[in-house]
Amino acid sequence: MDLDQMSYSYFQPLIWIALIAAVIAIVGSALKGRGKTDTGEKLHDVSFAVTLVAGVYVVVLLLLTVFDEPDLIYDAVVIMLVVIVFFAALLFLLFVIFELIGGRLGRRRRPRETAE
């Protein structure tokens, strides 16, 4: 199967599962807000289980793609590494910028005096 020919119907169950999990979680939260905490907690557990089913389905889709298009694995790994390095560099840059701003604009506190 060519990746361009991969049908939308493979991914449609993920949309339905996400909608079902969202509705169940919203109903559970509404019930918890009305004082029915046991039922709300049970519905939140069901919503989590539905989300786990979605995760399993994503793994099935991943395996389907890996076995049908093994040449794309290298490209996927390279793309993931580029994205990881980009966001790590961005996080480091923002950390440095905020540390510099915080160090210069922040109030300098005197150390607490301790009783000896």
- Both tokens assigned to 67: 């076995």
- Both tokens assigned to 17: 């599962």
Q: Is the pTM of this model over 0.75?
A: no
Tell me the pLDDT of the chain (116 aa) as tens digits: 555 666 778 888 899 999 999 999 999 999 999 998 899 999 999 999 999 999 999 999 888 878 877 777 788 889 999 999 999 999 999 999 988 887 766 655 666 777 76
The 3-state DSSP composition of the chain as helix, strand, coil percent (nearest 5) reads 80, 0, 20
Q: By C-alpha distance, which of 55, 28, 21 is closest to 44?
A: 28
Measure the CA–CA gap between 48 and 3, rounded to whole angstroms. Answer: 30
